[in-house]
Amino acid sequence: MTNRRFNKKKRTGSTQAKVLEMMRIEAQTPGQLRQVLNVTPQRIVRLLSKLEEQGLVKRIATVGERSQHLYMLADAPLSIVRSRTPALNQASVRLLSSLDPEQLYRASELGHFLYNFPHTAFVKRRVGQLASLGFVYQFKLGVWLFFGLTPAGFQYRGYDHNAPKAPPIDFASLVGPARAAVLQALGMLGTAKTIELTYAVGTEIFAGKGYGSAHVVHRLYASGLLKEAPASEGKRRAYRLSRMGAYVATILARYQEPPRVEWLRARIAEGLAQKSLKRLSSADTAGARQKSSA
């Protein structure tokens, strides 16, 4: 009886040592530990609970993975979690594999493709989980949430290259001609002020609309597609494409060819010249009125 207890204690100590050794390399899920140690799920749960009570390991919640939690050494840095390759669950792998590189998607269309009904909330939640892992990027434009596959998602070991791909959206139609024109113009110009973008895309594009270029620039900036460019003190704010904005501009180029930068600069120069002439004309008119009244 004593020998049995001794052997059981010895085996438990040996298993515990193996668990701690594995965690020194990287954070582990219960399933990974169970597979390597060839023990029952119940035994792993008991062992991890004991180690957690003793303060030797800590538990961290996961998103989009097979296991709901990761276990790591109590004194290990969180970088050990960020450096590991996540073990995605089946639903996450299926969604990831349905995305084609260099395309854009929306939750409603993807829900129809994957589940035959617009399960938008579920898809958005799953996309958010994949985005937090770096496998998907997402951005909001107006009320719409757009997303696509990142290089890390395409290179994920579970990504199924042969899986049926969801049809991409017609991004140019959804984003609208005004926003598309501003994005493409700024992509060609590199940096521009709002007034310059107004002349570059032309005021006619806003005909019949209740907004102008300033509104479009503000919405694109709020969506993270634009960022402020360094400008001299006292000058008007200038903008340039963010990294995400530059990528979106490349997507737009598939639907419509961007204008030549020489053509855009000529339109800007013409617009600024006309504005200057109007100012001079207004000043001359005001001066003439003052003289006549005197």
pLDDT at site 229: 86
For residues 58 and 74, is the Cβ–Cβ distance under 8 A? yes
- CA 267, 271, 276: angle at the middle one, nearest 5? 150
155: which DSSP letter?
T
pLDDT at site 7: 47
**Cα separation, 253 vs 184, whole angstroms:** 8
pLDDT at site 82: 65
pLDDT tens track for 250-286: 888 888 899 999 999 999 999 889 888 877 766 555 5
Tokens encoding 282? 């207004």
- Mean pLDDT, the chain, whole residue set: 82
pLDDT tens track for 147-199: 999 999 999 989 999 999 999 888 888 888 888 999 999 999 999 999 999 99
pLDDT tens track for 92-130: 999 999 999 878 899 888 988 988 876 788 888 889 889
pLDDT at site 223: 85
Nearest to 88 by CA among 24, 22, 159, 148: 159
pLDDT at site 192: 92
| 170 Cβ neighbours under 8 A, 6+ residues apart | 255
For residues 191 and 291, which has the higher predicted lDDT (pLDDT)? 191
DSSP 244-274: HHHHHHHHHTTTSPPPPHHHHHHHHHHHHHH
Length of the chain: 294
Integer angstrom CA distances of residue 235 from 229, 230, 238, 244: 12, 10, 9, 26
- What SS3 state is found at 166? coil
Distance of CA 142 to the CA centre of its chain: 15
Given a cut of 70, is residue 3 above it in pLDDT?
A: no
Segment 194-222 mean pLDDT: 87
pLDDT at site 242: 93
pLDDT at site 291: 56
Nearest to 98 by CA among 139, 144, 145, 135: 135
Burial class for 75, CB neighbours closer than 10 Å (0-12, 13-18, 19+): exposed
For residues 258 and 81, which has the higher predicted lDDT (pLDDT)? 258
Which span out of 11-15, 88-92, 239-243 was modeled with the highest average pLDDT?
239-243
6: which DSSP letter?
H
For residues 148 and 24, which has the higher predicted lDDT (pLDDT)? 148
pLDDT tens track for 53-76: 888 888 877 776 766 777 878 887
Nearest to 204 by CA among 215, 196, 212: 212
